[in-house]
């Protein structure tokens, strides 16, 4: 029996499961932050500031809404992929 065959798989699986859980929680935190950003973007149009002053360029409310929507769509795709590949992600060792 080789040393590779004697390796205890349980600690590796627990580590992979923990890492996947951390990854999933991070996705949820980003989703929460995007929800807050969308709320702020909705309020941004109410007090429309000057477009730019000096060297500063301020995005319009519409640009903020589009950016928040695009980020939300990207997060949705990523979380869908994470669900689709959940078993694969858990079964493999996560590299740093």
Provide the domain limits for residue 26: 3-44+60-89
CA angle 95, 22, 19 (to 5 degrees): 30
Name which of 73, 71, 70, 51 is nearest 61 in CA terms. Answer: 51
pLDDT tens digits, 12-47: 678 888 888 999 999 999 999 999 988 888 887 666
Name the β-bridge partners of 53. Answer: 56
CB-based contacts of 30: which residues, under 8 Å, 6+ apart? 75
What's the structural domain count of the chain? 1
Q: Is 35 inside a domain boundary?
A: yes
pLDDT tens digits, 75-93: 999 999 988 988 887 777 6
Q: Is 16 inside a domain boundary?
A: yes
pLDDT tens digits, 44-60: 766 655 555 567 777 88
């Amino acid at each position: 029996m080789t040393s590779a065959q004697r390796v205890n798989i349980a600690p590796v699986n627990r580590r992979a499961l923990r890492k996947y859980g951390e990854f999933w929680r991070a996705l949820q935190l980003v989703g929460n932050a995007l929800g807050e950003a969308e709320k702020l973007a909705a309020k941004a149009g109410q007090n429309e500031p000057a477009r730019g002053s000096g060297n500063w360029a301020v995005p319009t409310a519409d640009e903020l809404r589009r950016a928040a929507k695009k980020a939300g769509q990207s997060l949705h795709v990523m979380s869908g992929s994470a669900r689709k590949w959940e078993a694969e992600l858990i079964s493999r060792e996560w590299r740093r």
